[in-house]
């Protein structure tokens, strides 16, 4: 799918920050020509989560879609695009649900910015939903890989056997409504990452206002000892939880993306601070653009280790909404 000899610009979660995206593309040397952002030599690779939360979701989708259609970019699917498909897809008869993603207040709240911005453009939204099916769940370019949240070879290999280009269909979305199904596991793992349940029935209310019984975990740590060694999310664990030792069972259940595997790029994790590699072969490019963080790109050429000097970003002026 991707020419390994090309140079690429990988771009983290846009979440409706269209002005910031234009600013970033301009900074990277892309120019708006004949209606599409283009670079004379390079191709943009988006890590998913173009929609939700931000002020210019429809504009952001048009920018990315038009680049992809013109051969100037590829875009993989984020959990927000998958959720939008689930929200819009009727559940299979007999599943006790009306939609794959039930229309609860919590789910409605996550999608409300997107739906309200398309309120006057129903055909446009309909077309974008169809286009989401052309976004692969992962890209394996040989010397580097992309997935929105977590590379799990144990799921990607069987997924690839079924969907060789990584693009799923409506049957897959419908199957994902069933907890524990292959489709549900793939969606959870690849697009939302690994997590663990907080001990003793504890819950955490995140900076986003949502309360969760789980916390996000690293999927590459070789020899973690405590909960604090594996937590990977903006909200810190309570001290006592962080010091809790991992049981052998919990350690065994953790994924370990190897240091000798191809370069891997993910989005999804609401990082803060200055963009940097997590490991020589792993980088997260989501630095919370929509929360007045940074929209981040990595300029990938032929290197075999992620180079800390090749991150490029735009600080999101607060707030993009009134620019
Ligand atoms: Mn995400």
The tens digit of pLDDT for each residue in 287-320 reads 999 888 999 999 999 999 999 999 999 998 766 5
Q: How far is the CA of 90 from the centre of ligand 1 (A)?
A: 23
CA distance 268 to 288: 9
Number of Cβ within 10 Å of residue 106's Cβ equals: 9
CA distance 190 to 163: 15
Q: How far is the CA of 261 from the centre of ligand 1 (A)?
A: 23
CA distance 11 to 17: 12
Q: How far is the CA of 4 from the centre of ligand 1 (A)?
A: 26
Angle at 82 between CA 77 and CA 87, to 5 degrees: 155
Range of the domain at 181: 7-193+258-321
Instruction: Give the CATH number, domain containing residue 112.
Output: 3.60.21.10
**Which pTM does this prediction carry?**
0.95
Q: Among residues 131, 137, 122, which one has the least CA distance to residue 192?
A: 137
Please, what's the b/e burial string for 192-205 (b: 16 or more CB within 10 A of its CB; e: otherwise)?
A: bbbbbebeeeeebe
Q: Is residue 80 part of a domain?
A: yes
Q: How far is the CA of 132 from the centre of ligand 1 (A)?
A: 15
Q: How far is the CA of 114 from the centre of ligand 1 (A)?
A: 15
Q: How far is the CA of 19 from the centre of ligand 1 (A)?
A: 20
Q: How far is the CA of 12 from the centre of ligand 1 (A)?
A: 10
CA distance 197 to 215: 6
What are the Cα distances from residue 287, in Å, to 14, 126, 273, 283, 318?
10, 29, 8, 11, 15
Q: How far is the CA of 223 from the centre of ligand 1 (A)?
A: 26
Q: How far is the CA of 193 from the centre of ligand 1 (A)?
A: 9
Q: Is residue 179 part of a domain?
A: yes
CA distance 230 to 246: 9
Q: How far is the CA of 180 from the centre of ligand 1 (A)?
A: 20
Q: Is residue 290 part of a domain?
A: yes
Tally of domains in the chain:
1
Q: Is residue 251 part of a domain?
A: no
As given in the structure block, the two tokens for residue 177 are: 């409504």
DSSP letters spanning 74-118: EEPPPHHHHHHHHHHSBPPTTSS-SBSS---HHHHHHHHHHHHHT
Q: How far is the CA of 34 from the centre of ligand 1 (A)?
A: 31
Q: Among residues 56, 114, 51, 103, which one has the least CA distance to residue 77?
A: 51
Q: Is residue 215 part of a domain?
A: no
Please list the residues that pair with 263 across neighbouring strands: 144
Q: How far is the CA of 49 from the centre of ligand 1 (A)?
A: 6
Q: How far is the CA of 53 from the centre of ligand 1 (A)?
A: 11
Residue written as token pair 């009306």: 98
Question: What pLDDT is recorded for position 210?
Answer: 85
Q: How far is the CA of 271 from the centre of ligand 1 (A)?
A: 12
The 10s digit of each residue's pLDDT in 213-267 is: 999 999 999 999 999 999 999 888 999 999 999 999 999 999 999 999 999 999 9
CA distance 31 to 53: 26
Digit-by-digit pLDDT tens for the chain (323 residues) are 788 889 999 999 999 999 999 999 999 999 999 999 999 999 999 999 999 999 999 999 999 999 999 999 999 999 999 999 999 999 998 888 999 999 999 999 999 999 999 999 999 999 999 999 999 999 999 999 999 999 999 999 999 999 999 999 999 999 999 999 999 999 999 999 999 999 889 999 988 788 999 999 999 999 999 999 999 998 889 999 999 999 999 999 999 999 999 999 999 999 999 999 999 999 999 999 988 899 999 999 999 999 999 999 999 876 654 44
Q: Is residue 198 part of a domain?
A: no
Q: Is residue 250 part of a domain?
A: no
Q: How far is the CA of 148 from the centre of ligand 1 (A)?
A: 7
Q: Is residue 249 part of a domain?
A: no
Q: How far is the CA of 226 from the centre of ligand 1 (A)?
A: 25
């Amino acid at each position: 799918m991707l020419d390994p000899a090309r140079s690429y610009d990988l771009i983290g979660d846009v979440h409706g920050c269209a002005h910031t995206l234009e600013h970033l593309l301009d900074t990277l040397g892309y120019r708006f020509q004949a209606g599409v952002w283009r670079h004379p030599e390079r191709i943009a690779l988006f890590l998913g989560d173009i929609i939700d939360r931000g002020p210019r979701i429809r504009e952001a989708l048009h920018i990315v879609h038009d680049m992809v259609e013109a051969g100037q970019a590829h875009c993989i699917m984020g959990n927000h695009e998958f959720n939008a498909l689930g929200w819009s897809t009727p559940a299979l008869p007999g599943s006790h649900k009306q939609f794959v993603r039930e229309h609860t207040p919590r789910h409605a709240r996550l999608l409300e910015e997107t739906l309200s911005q398309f309120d006057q453009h129903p055909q446009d939204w309909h077309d974008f939903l169809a286009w989401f099916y052309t976004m692969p769940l992962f890209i394996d370019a040989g010397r580097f890989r992309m997935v929105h949240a977590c590379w799990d070879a144990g799921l990607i290999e069987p997924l690839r056997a079924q969907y060789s280009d990584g693009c799923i269909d409506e049957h897959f979305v419908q199957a994902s409504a069933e907890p524990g199904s292959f489709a549900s596991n793939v969606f959870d793992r690849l697009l939302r990452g690994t997590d663990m349940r907080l001990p003793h029935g504890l819950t955490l209310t995140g900076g986003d206002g949502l309360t969760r019984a789980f916390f996000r975990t690293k999927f590459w740590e070789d020899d973690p000892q405590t909960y604090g060694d594996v937590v990977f999310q903006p909200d810190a664990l309570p001290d006592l939880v962080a010091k809790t030792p991992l049981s052998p069972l919990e350690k065994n259940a953790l994924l370990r993306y190897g240091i000798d595997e191809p370069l891997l790029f993910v989005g999804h994790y609401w990082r803060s601070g200055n963009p940097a590699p997590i490991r020589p072969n792993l980088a997260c490019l989501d630095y919370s653009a929509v929360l007045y963080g940074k929209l981040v790109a990595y300029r990938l050429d032929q290197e075999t280790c992620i180079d800390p000097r090749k991150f490029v970003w735009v600080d999101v002026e607060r707030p993009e909404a009134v620019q």
